Amino acid sequence: ERRGVVEGGGCVVVKAGSDCMNAAVTDVYFEETSTDVSVSVSVDIENLDDIPPDPQVEQLVDQHMEVVKLLAEEVVCSVLPSQTHILPLESMHNRLRQSTLGTLITSTCRDELRTDCCFINGASIKGGRQYDPPCLTFMQLQDELPFPTKMVVAYLSGSVLRSAVHFSRTDGKDGERRGYLQCCDALTVDKDHIVTHVGGQPLHPDKIYMVAMPRNLLSGFCNITPLVEWAAAKANSMPDESSYTPALNLVLNYNAADIWLRLGTFDQLDQDKDGTISREELTVAITTKLGRKPSSILLDTLIATLDVNKDGVISAWEFKKFSDQTRRLKCYPGSGGAAGVDPQGKRLDQSVF
């Protein structure tokens, strides 16, 4: 790698190197004459090994790296024993084929938004790796979903749903397709990229399905023509631009809610019987139930999932609201998630978690 000063086209570029082993000390001189101002640059490349570390900076770096370490170790998404069809877990070639991580992410988004099905364009999933054991840490999930990927709920007919998946995978272009739709496990897609079943039932062309998807696909991103044409014809049914949830948040929220459901009842968690679940009580419950002490990052995520009034503890009302909504959503799929308008014009509210 080149270090020092690189000049060209009237521009001076100073390069110290990307390995943090050197620092570039740059002085810029301006000299004014009666007719002009001349500029000159002086650069010294200093080897940082010769400079003793600053104790305060070292302390700040250590604190930062502790957070990075927690992010790298905290598992936030994993394949359940019942999901053997998602094994081995990998995110390879998402623009060319269905990946198992594509299935896991879209299935999780579908369950969190309580829709009939979900798809995401392959270019949104970026990791390109295999996972053994089949789980992802927070940082790995961020690597896989580095973009906002604003998920919304739209009401598509079966014919549009089928045409969108088929078009995204067979649009006549050779090689990779950034719009290649990764589908959840509620969608059965045959070898010719035709959706044949939704939720185990044969696809009906005229039936309206609740579909979770990235909002920008409706506005022309990846140019999936069936979706663009549907959005143009159904402008009044388009989700609001402000009504979305990032795919990363959906995966985190779903797994946080799943942990809450496994921890027990409110009375079991409220050990001191003061009417709230504190951070300390949540720590004890997770350590007891899951066999590991939670990180501060996991605790923050779990509390944020239920903490409506943002006071740092979970009240009986907040816990009941979460439990009731979870039971209701299990009974009535499609009742939560990013707002959309159903064919009768009823607007759905944003999910509280």
- List pLDDT tens digits, range 228-273: 999 999 887 777 777 889 999 899 888 888 788 888 899 999 999 9
DSSP helix/strand/coil, 49: helix
Residues 89-114 pLDDT 10s: 999 999 999 999 999 999 999 998 99
Per the model's pLDDT, the better-predicted residue between 152 and 60 turns out to be 152
pLDDT band at residue 350 under the 50/70/90 scheme: very low
> Of 160, 122, 151, which is closest to residue 215 (Cα–Cα)?
151
pLDDT at 71: 63
> How would DSSP label each residue in 122-184?
GGG-----EESSSEEEHHHHHHH--S--EEEEEEEEHHHHHHHHHHHH-SS--S--TT-EEE-
pLDDT at 102: 97
Residues 53-95 pLDDT 10s: 888 888 888 776 766 676 677 787 888 788 888 999 999 999 9
